[in-house]
């Protein structure tokens, strides 16, 4: 499995584009809050309703620690074990770990 990592920006990608192209590349997306008040969140909700279970949006206000994020990442990898490519897109900060550090921690916890 090839893990393509994106720090802060999901460059070259969008939920709207993935929805229009019926692209079902699994994506694990971390962010600070569950607030659905911007275009990206609204597009994600549309995508996830069309392709349920393909991608995960994990907001740090939904978990207690980095360990919870790692556990969710491992579950995501297991669920997508047969996917040739997955995207890891990190945003936000949890327990002092920003997007760069979280990407490193997740990639090293496979």
Residue 102 is assigned to a structural domain of this protein: no
User: How many domains, the chain?
Assistant: 1
Separation of alpha carbons 54 and 96, rounded Å: 28
Residue 15 lies in a domain: no
**Do the domain assignments include residue 101?**
no
Would you say residue 29 lies in a domain?
no
Please check whether residue 27 lies inside any domain of the structure: no
Query: pLDDT category, 46, cuts 50, 70, 90?
Result: very high
User: Tokens standing for 10?
Assistant: 């999901």
**What is the DSSP-derived secondary structure letter of residue 61?**
G
Q: Is residue 24 part of a domain?
A: no
The domain of 46 spans 1-10+34-92
The mean pLDDT value for 31-55 works out to 90
Say if 40 falls within a structural domain. Answer: yes
Q: What is the pTM of this model?
A: 0.94
Q: For residue 29, give the 3-state DSSP assignment.
A: strand
Residue range 80-101, pLDDT digits in tens = 999 999 999 999 999 999 999 9
Q: Is residue 54 part of a domain?
A: yes
């Amino acid at each position: 499995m090839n893990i393509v990592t994106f720090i802060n920006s999901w460059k070259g990608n969008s939920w709207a584009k993935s929805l229009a192209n019926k692209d079902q590349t699994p994506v694990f997306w971390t962010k600070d809050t569950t607030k659905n008040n911007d275009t990206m969140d609204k597009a994600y909700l549309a995508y996830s309703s069309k392709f349920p279970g393909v991608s995960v949006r994990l907001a740090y206000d939904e978990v207690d620690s980095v360990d919870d994020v790692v556990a969710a990442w491992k579950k995501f990898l297991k669920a997508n074990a047969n996917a040739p490519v997955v995207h890891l897109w990190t945003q936000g900060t949890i327990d002092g770990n920003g997007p760069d550090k979280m990407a490193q921690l997740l990639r090293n916890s496979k």
